[in-house]
Amino acid sequence: MTKPIHLDDGEALASVGASSPAHDSHQSLREEIDLLRILLGETEATGIAQAERAEDARVLVEETRLVAEDARVLAEGARLRAEDARLRAEAARILAEDARLEVRRISDIHDEQRLLVHDLIGVGADSVIVLDETYTVTYMNQQAMDEVSEGQSVVGQKLLDVYPRIETTPFWKRYKRVMEERVSIAFEDFYEPRNTWYQVNAAPVGKGIAFFFRDVTDRRRRDAALQRTEKLAAVGRLASSISHEINNPLESVTNLLYLIQTSKSAGDDTRMYAQLAASELARVSHIVTQTLKFHRQSTDATETRASEILESVLALFHGRAVTLGTEVHTRYAATDTLLCFAGDMRQVFANLIGNALDATGEGGTIWLRTRVGHDPHTGAAGVRVTVADNGCGMSAVTQRSIFEAFFTTKGATGTGLGLWVSHEIIHNHRGTVHVRSSENPAHRGTVFSVFFPD
Ligand code: ADP
Ligand code: MG
């Protein structure tokens, strides 16, 4: 920043004229101007004012001022008591011309910087809005227009006129704080009117404020989903260690029940009860071993029968299917071996069967089938697994989005991650998945067909 310099030069410049012969006084004047420039350094001059006044017949007073945008006088030169009016006029002209060039140079730099800033804001991923002290929008970049005003500029309008609902949000309180206390703040919050999470940096700029913001909704939801998955994994580990602990006593109880069933001293009733207890217990131990298996994710792909995986998943859903009164029909090929990560595969079929159960209400039916066959597109040999249900079916619009992360029609009870994850897993196994679904009451239902090449 240049300090205002007052060159009351009467003496300085007058002495040029006084002490130098006329022919080299021009040269001295130039030096004087260079000195002025050195003194001024990086000047913030934006304009120049000039005046010429004849005090009397022999004296000409010339004023040249370098003025800043806010009308401060940065420098004032050549106020001369001239003896040689011609020389003084020339001095003023040169000084003025130099100053004008300087002003142009500075304003070029200024323009360049403004363009640079504009470009930088333009290419950034953030939306930017600038408000003046009356909360009127004075600038917004394209990203901001796309994000909050359907591609249209709202420059010149008051923020609250355009977005009246912002006043009830925490965003408004923060913007007011930045405006009034002149502090910068960064925050992340949920903006209800747009149902969106924003990350915002707000800072005082000039007399107003600027805020940079970006939509972080997906990241927030992913974080939340991740947390849920982590919780599930922890629960899985817990379940696995519990099932491990339960397994041993279960085995002894199974043996004891066997002894009762075969005991000659026990009555018929007793033996029948023992038999019932044993079959229930068999289910419990099945579930326990399945939970254990479920959790043990092997690091290598193994040869596993698709039907075995389906059966282990069914065991888990048995309780729910019974409660819902859903029938399950299975038909398996004799050889339906897959080279796969069995834990992953269980996850896929648990998702498909879980969805089928969600879709079929009271008294529905689910069909599970494995077949050895060929991919209709590539002709490759492999195993096809179908999970079909006569549940509610899906509309064409729903079908288009089911494999997207977070897409769910189940409100708070759905995560919208099941099919997304399944699709990833199938893809990682070089498999393909096809869906057919209908809402037509005559043949309502959904068929998921997954093909794994050998
Ligand atoms: P979620 O089950 O958590 O909703 P998914 O990714 O498993 O997430 O499924 C996404 C959506 O696909 C479901 O919300 C539902 O609308 C639809 N869908 C999936 N399977 C079926 C099915 N068998 N019958 C009807 N709709 C289904
Ligand atoms: Mg699901």
Ligand 1 centroid to residue 445 C-alpha, Å? 12
- HSE of 303 in the Cβ direction (CA atoms, 13 Å)? 4
- Is the minimum distance from the CB of 438 to ligand 1 under 6 angstroms? no
How many CA atoms lie less than 13 Å away from 126 in the CB half-sphere? 16
**What beta strand segments (E) does 306-350 contain?**
327-331, 337-340
Contact 364, 320 (CB under 8 A): no
Q: Which of 228, 408, 437 for mutating ligand 1's site (highest number of atoms within 8 Å of CB)?
A: 408
Cβ proximity of 405 and 420 under 8 Å = yes
* Average pLDDT over all residues of the chain: 78
Q: Which atom from ligand 1 is nearest to the alpha carbon of 408?
A: 14
Pocket lining: 351 vs ligand 1, CB cutoff 6 Å: yes
What pLDDT digit, counting tens, does each position of 150-207 carry? 999 999 999 999 999 999 999 999 999 999 999 999 999 999 888 899 999 999 988 9
One pLDDT digit (tens) per residue for the chain, 454 residues: 333 333 343 333 333 333 333 334 445 545 555 555 554 444 444 445 555 555 444 444 455 666 666 666 666 554 444 455 565 566 666 667 777 777 777 777 777 777 777 766 666 678 999 999 999 999 898 889 999 999 999 999 999 999 999 999 999 999 999 999 999 999 999 998 888 999 999 999 889 999 999 999 888 887 877 777 677 667 667 776 777 778 778 878 888 888 888 888 888 889 889 888 888 888 787 777 666 655 555 567 888 899 999 998 888 788 889 888 999 999 999 999 998 888 778 888 988 999 999 999 788 999 999 999 888 788 889 999 999 999 999 999 999 999 987 789 998 778 787 888 788 889 888 899 999 999 999 999 999 999 999 8
Which class for 243: exposed (0-12), middle (13-18), buried (19 or more C-beta within 10 A)?
buried
Question: Is the four-CA dihedral 37, 39, 45, 48 of positive or negative sign?
Answer: negative
Whole-number Å distance between alpha carbons of 336 and 334: 6
Q: Which two tokens stand for residue 338?
A: 């897959």
Torsion, Cα of 406, 412, 413, 415 (10° steps): 10
Question: Distance, CA 316 to ligand 2 centroid (Å)?
Answer: 15
Cα(389) to centroid of ligand 1, in Å? 12
Q: Is 347 near ligand 1, meaning CB less than 6 Å away? A: no
Q: Are 188 and 197 contacting, i.e. CB atoms less than 8 angstroms apart?
A: yes
Question: What are the pLDDT digits (tens) for 293-324?
Answer: 555 555 678 888 999 999 988 887 888 898 88
